[in-house]
Amino acid sequence: MTITQYEQAHLAGILALCEAEGWPSFPADPGRAHKVLTAPGVTTVIALDGDLVIGFAYLQSDGHIQAHLSQMAVHHAYRRKGIGRALLEYAAPLTGAQRIDLVTDTAKAFYSSFDHKQLSGFRIYPD
């Protein structure tokens, strides 16, 4: 396994992971997805098995204090092998941030395994 920064050649693999998770936003517009994954303040890293994208993490950051883990997925056949942890450990210093916030309705045990403080939060959907 190799962890590296995202390049456009990895986009199809990320889209396939999103489709497998039932996440429609990136697959709906691949051009927009690439722009989002490479936007200023964004860190996107991928896990590869050879040429196969087996995981990715997409984080947004102010570069100094705050980062947000917006999406992370690992291919179902590769889960529970340390790939998610490796993605976050590789990406965190690249963001420049002191902390990473996230919202999840799955994988609570995974995220709890990191040094953390649990807070309640909201996801707001503007009109």
In sign, the C-alpha dihedral spanning 127, 108, 56, 51 is negative
- Asked if residue 118 has pLDDT above 80, the reply is no
Q: What is the pTM of this model?
A: 0.89
For the domain covering 2-112, report its CATH number: 3.40.630.30
Helix, strand, coil percent values for the chain (each to nearest 5) = 35, 30, 35
Helix (H) or strand (E) holding 31: helix 30-37
Summarised one tens digit per residue, pLDDT across range 24-63 is 999 999 999 999 999 999 999 999 999 999 999 999 999 9
Classify residue 78 as exposed, middle or buried by CB count within 10 Å of its CB (0-12, 13-18, 19+).
Answer: middle
| Domains of the chain by residue range | 2-112
Distances (CA, A) of 53 to 80, 96, 119, 126: 16, 25, 32, 33
Summarised one tens digit per residue, pLDDT across range 65-96 is 999 999 999 999 999 999 999 999 999 999 99
